[in-house]
Amino acid sequence: ATNNRLSCYLLEMYCGCGAHTVPLAKMNLLQGIVAVELDQRLVDACIDNCKLNDCYDYSHDEKNKKNNNTTPVCVFQGDASEWAAKKSIFQRKNRQSTTNENTWYEMEEKYSILLVDPPRMGLGETVCNFAIQQDSFTDILYISCGRNA
């Protein structure tokens, strides 16, 4: 139920088709999840998976909005390094902003948890710096399929 949720948001970079996103959303422990992926095919698959599992965030679409017991997930197409750079700049420039823009770097949520599942080469320098410099992350989850990453 909503009253048992932690008062934090999760940012997932390199979300792929939602293999981590959907199970986390179904646990219903967080206020929200923002998932970012570069490959449009995987973005579409993640959105489909979220819709199939009743965790897609329909907040922008009142007609399809559902009241359910999952954490709402917003899925955005974008490069993680570009996202990190824009999010850092946006946060510095707009700390007092009240904009309700719904782009992948302008969302107002203060993320407590960062989940990254990067390609085999690992995180780029921009994403690493973003993770380190953000004062809001209390936890960083790094999932790696490359032993050198």
pLDDT digits (tens, 9 = 90+) for 15-44: 999 999 999 999 999 999 999 999 999 999
The DSSP element (H or E) to which 81 belongs, if any, is helix 80-93
From the CB of residue 133, how many other CB atoms can be counted at a distance below 10 Å?
Answer: 11
Decide which of 147 and 115 is more confident: 115
Note the pLDDT of residue 47: 96
pTM for this structure?
A: 0.80
Confidence of residue 1 (pLDDT cuts 50, 70, 90): very low
Kindly report, residue by residue over 51-104, the tens digit of the pLDDT. Answer: 999 999 987 655 555 656 899 999 999 998 888 877 666 554 554 444 444 454
Kindly report, residue by residue over 104-123, the tens digit of the pLDDT. Answer: 455 656 788 999 999 888 88
φ, ψ at 76 (rounded to 5°) = -130, 145
